[in-house]
Amino acid sequence: MGVNANTNAANRKVYVKVPASTANLGPGFDTLGMALDLYEWIEMGFAEQTKIHLFGDQVEGIATDKTNLIYKVAQLVFEKAGVQHPELEIAMYSDIPLTRGLGSSAAAIVGGLAAANALIGSPLSDDTLFQLATELEDHPDNVGASLFGGLVVAFWDGQRAEYIRVEPDERLEVLVAIPHFQLATEKARHVLPREQSLTNAVFNVGHSSVLVAALCTGRLDMIPRAMKDALHQPYRAALVPGLAKILAEATDHGALGVALSGAGPTMLALVDRSSSRKAELEQFLLDTLATEQIEATLLWLNPDRGGVQVLTHFDAGCTLIENIKGDVRG
Ligand SMILES: Nc1ncnc2c1ncn2[C@@H]1O[C@H](COP(=O)(O)OP(=O)(O)O)[C@@H](O)[C@H]1O
Ligand SMILES: N[C@@H](CCOP(=O)(O)O)C(=O)O
């Protein structure tokens, strides 16, 4: 994370850009995450009175008072650093859809932590931010990916989270089908059984291990067999019409592997970017969801490799939205 620190300026502002993420990648329940090139931007500065401005289509229902998640995580950073800044001006623009399994809450947490830390001169290390983010999100897969970018293999034992970042294979492209309905992660976790069989545990340890090894060694041919799960997708399929068929058949239509993205309802296919079957895969996903009367948006994405970025080239005279349009998105 690059930081432009100037801690003394009361009118100082920082800007961060934070990627969306897909968690689990099938068998890696709560342990495998990949950052995606879909972003949220946050501007944060000190203020006399707290003001929160939200821009974009993906902000419905987000609080604009001190209950806002970004405000609250910023206060955690200040507390941890031993400073007090109760009044903040925050602006946020996001392209990450809410409650769809693309890590919007993790992006808000990571973006809020990174912005607040940069605002006070970055006293907290990346590892401290990762520990804080994992505790807040309750699992390290999304937050690790949004923080560090790329593919993050992680675990959390309730005390500490550990991770290894893996560079995603250049050949990997991602197709997501984002249904036009929301599914809160909390609800999708409630359908999971508290206890699992040894058979399921062994199935997932094996598949997840081989999937990680395949992703680390460029064995894309192994992804179709390794990207299978017994711990969460079978239970969550009841919440996402069409998921069971898509999981069973997408590899027959050109996907390397397919999974529920995070807790859903978005479905994600890994695709070899040189594949000649992209249109066939798109049609299969749309037809399957249409049969279930599910409207969905398809998006082609790439892995994000940089994770959260503290931006230094924003124009302090512009609003966040003007900056994003002008400088970031061209
Ligand atoms: N930018 C944001 N600012 C504040 N809260 C946010 C932001 N993004 C997400 N959230 C909170 O996170 C919730 C979605 O989290 P969750 O159910 O885990 O879904 P997902 O992370 O898959 O999008 C939203 O309903 C909202 O409460
Ligand atoms: N491992 C978690 C991931 C939730 O991700 P989200 O993007 O849906 O918030 C889970 O599967 O519950």
**pLDDT (0 to 100) of residue 12:** 81
Over range 113-131, report the average pLDDT. Answer: 97
**34 token code pair:** 């990949």
Over range 128-135, report the average pLDDT. Answer: 98
**Range of lowest pLDDT (12-26, 293-307, 309-323):** 309-323
- With a 6 Å cutoff on the Cβ, whether 103 touches ligand 2 is yes
Give the phi and the psi of residue 244 in degrees, each rounded to 5.
Answer: -60, -45
101 is in an annotated binding site: yes
Give 146-207 as a DSSP string: HHH-SEEEEEE-SS-EEEEEEPPPTTEEEEEEEESS---HHHHHHTS-SS--HHHHHHHHHH
Greater confidence, 312 or 39?
Answer: 39
Q: Are 262 and 138 in contact (CB under 8 A)?
A: no
Is ipTM strictly over 0.90?
Answer: yes
pLDDT per residue over 68-116, tens digit each?
A: 999 999 999 999 999 999 999 999 999 999 999 999 999 999 999 999 9
Atom 12 in ligand 2: residue holding the nearest Cα: 263
Residue 279 identity (one-letter amino acid): A
- With a 6 Å cutoff on the Cβ, whether 94 touches ligand 1 is yes
Report CA(51)–ligand 2 centroid distance (Å).
30
Query: The tokens 């995606």 sit on which residue?
Result: 36
Domains of the chain (ranges, CATH numbers): 13-166+305-328 (3.30.230.10), 172-301 (3.30.70.890)
Query: Given pLDDT bands bounded at 50, 70 and 90, which one contains residue 10?
Result: low
Atom 4 in ligand 2: residue holding the nearest Cα: 262
Peptide bond before residue 168 is cis, with ω within 30 degrees of 0: no
> What mean pLDDT is reported for the chain?
93
- With a 6 Å cutoff on the Cβ, whether 24 touches ligand 2 is yes
Sign of the CA dihedral with 243 first, then 22, 19, and 277 last: negative
- With a 6 Å cutoff on the Cβ, whether 23 touches ligand 2 is yes
- With a 6 Å cutoff on the Cβ, whether 137 touches ligand 2 is no
pLDDT per residue over 141-178, tens digit each?
A: 999 999 999 999 999 999 999 999 999 999 999 999 99
Report CA(63)–ligand 1 centroid distance (Å).
11
- With a 6 Å cutoff on the Cβ, whether 99 touches ligand 1 is yes
Residue 8 burial (CB count, 10 A): 7
Report CA(193)–ligand 1 centroid distance (Å).
24
Polymer length in residues for the chain: 330
- Strand-pairing partners, residue 115, are none
pLDDT per residue over 181-228, tens digit each?
A: 999 999 999 999 999 999 999 999 999 999 999 999 999 999 999 999
**pLDDT (0 to 100) of residue 8:** 47
Q: In the chain, how many H helices and how many E strands?
A: 11, 11
Residue 193 identity (one-letter amino acid): P
Q: Is residue 313 pLDDT above 80, yes or no?
A: no
